[in-house]
Amino acid sequence: MSKVILHADSLNKSFGAVTAAKNINVEVEQGSVLGLIGTNGAGKTTFVNMITGYLKPDTGRVIFDGKDITDLQPRDITRLGICRSFQIPQLYNSMTALENLEVSYSVVSLIESHGSLFTKLDKAIPSYNKTVKALAEEALERFNLTAYRDKTARVLPGGVRKLLDIAMAMAVRPKILLLDEPTSGVSAEEKFDIMAMVMNAVKDGSTTVLFVEHDMEIVSKHADRVLAFYAGEIIADEPPEIALRDPKVIEFIVGETQAKMLQGAH
């Protein structure tokens, strides 16, 4: 059985009369890929924000790699190995793609050299002995961004900006990577290629990926487990071929038309 890297233990969160999370219990195995689905306001973002420290649960705990991180600040949670890519890419728009990556690797190298809370990097991976520029160049190649090396971030296409943002998040070699709607703002023609490129670049056998996504074809193709949220609760926690056929998931999230389309695709 794979190691449990993340445990959400009885998480509850309310905003006045609105229940955003109700008794959320989830165990996430190392190296797995989870798709988080649900309509707007269903509780997906609240769940992600509690894991990353941007929100504190009213009750319950978040356990990461055996450590209770519930009360830690976001920056400290990042340093432990949980990184997040946002729906709107967080880039330095006046810098080139290469310079954006150099900034990320410079910060990591600086903190690592001062013995921060960052999880120690695998000694079998020699890349951190390389220069920051060499690491940035490697990341450009890994994410198929070499053609955009010297272009400023503000002029990059939407899909490329997404890839660059995720490449920057991967600079710390996170144990868990959280992707917030990685294909939003990307054209229908690009979304499958973009997601495939992301998954190929981030999956190294140990990185655990949780991604929030509204496109059920993307979820079906890339998730090996689906968490379906509705009204602050998880109404399904199964492999996609089961979760996306669950009657409640079809009623509250997917809809009959899309459910039939997904079944036809299989």
**Tell me: the pLDDT tens digits for 105-148?**
887 766 655 544 344 433 333 444 468 889 999 999 999 999 99
* Cα angle: 201, vertex 141, 207; to 5 degrees: 20
Structural domains in the chain, CATH included, are 1-81+174-266 (3.40.50.300), 93-173 (no CATH)
Q: What's the whole-number mean pLDDT along residues 234-250?
A: 96
Q: Which residues contact 76 (CB under 8 A, 6 or more apart)?
A: 53, 69, 117
Q: Cα separation of 13 and 137, whole Å?
A: 42
Confidence grade of residue 88 (pLDDT, cut at 50, 70, 90): low
- Give 187's pLDDT tier (boundaries 50, 70, 90): confident
Q: Which pLDDT score is estimated for 183?
A: 83
Q: Is the pLDDT of residue 220 over 80?
A: yes
pLDDT in tens, 35-77: 999 999 999 999 999 999 999 999 999 999 999 999 999 989 9
Instruction: Name the pLDDT band for 82 (thresholds 50, 70, 90).
Output: very high
* Per-residue model confidence (pLDDT) at position 94: 93
39-46 contacts at long range (C-beta below 8 A, 24 or more positions apart): 39/230, 39/252, 39/253, 42/229, 42/230, 42/231, 42/232, 42/253, 43/229, 43/230, 43/231, 43/232, 43/233, 44/212, 44/229, 45/180, 45/212, 46/13, 46/20, 46/21, 46/232
Q: What is the mean pLDDT of the chain?
A: 87
**Is pLDDT larger for residue 256 or for residue 215?**
215
- Please give the residue that has the higher pLDDT: either 163 or 12: 12
Residue 93 is predicted with a pLDDT of: 92
Structure confidence at residue 262 (pLDDT): 76
pTM: 0.84
